[in-house]
Amino acid sequence: MIIDKKGKLFGKINILDILIILVILLFIALGALKIFSGVLGSRGSLNTLEVKYTVEVTKKDAEFFESIKEGDVVFKKNTKEVGGEVVSCDIKPAKYITPNANRLSYELTEAENKFDGYVTIKTIADVSYPDILVGGDEIKIGKSYDLRTENTVLNGYITSIEYDKEKMGGFAR
């Protein structure tokens, strides 16, 4: 007989012990499958895509924006990892919110000799929906982002992100 009167298999191993060992092995196998294959709850496959993102830098002198040239390589401010290459730098007069003459409402007023700049940067990023990683750092619209070129430090906010959604494999919305 395979199972004796005490419920032991071959007189040595309890059936309950076997079930516990099988459950533990199942959890280990599922954990390994998740870690090594990206299956079971993965947020999508990791794609390397060309991404363009725009950083808004506000209320700077014209000379500041003149120092940013198309083709400049930008680096992450703290890690010094490459953040991409400047594609364009558009500037507009800076505006402040000021009280109007009767002080009952507010209006936008152009600031003298101050400008807002929109620096567009092209890079290769790791895109794994919904995350876009540049040099290991996530970029999102509205996020504060600090970069530097050879001569300039850019402190601003990301205002747009563009990439080919067709290459996302159905994960982009």
- Could you state, in order of their start, the residue ranges of all structural domains in the chain? 8-37, 47-168
> Which has the higher per-residue pLDDT, 6 or 148?
148
Tens digit of each residue's pLDDT (9 = 90 or more) over 23-61: 999 999 988 887 776 544 444 445 789 999 999 999 999
Residues sharing a CB contact under 8 Å with residue 70, sequence separation 6 or more, in sequence order? 86, 87, 88, 89
- pLDDT at residue number 92: 95
pTM of the model: 0.67
Six-digit token string for 127: 């895109």
d(CA 136, CA 132): 9
DSSP string, 30-86: HHHHHHHH--SS-----EEEEEEEEEEEEEE-HHHHHT--TT-EEEETTT--EEEEE
d(CA 132, CA 46): 10
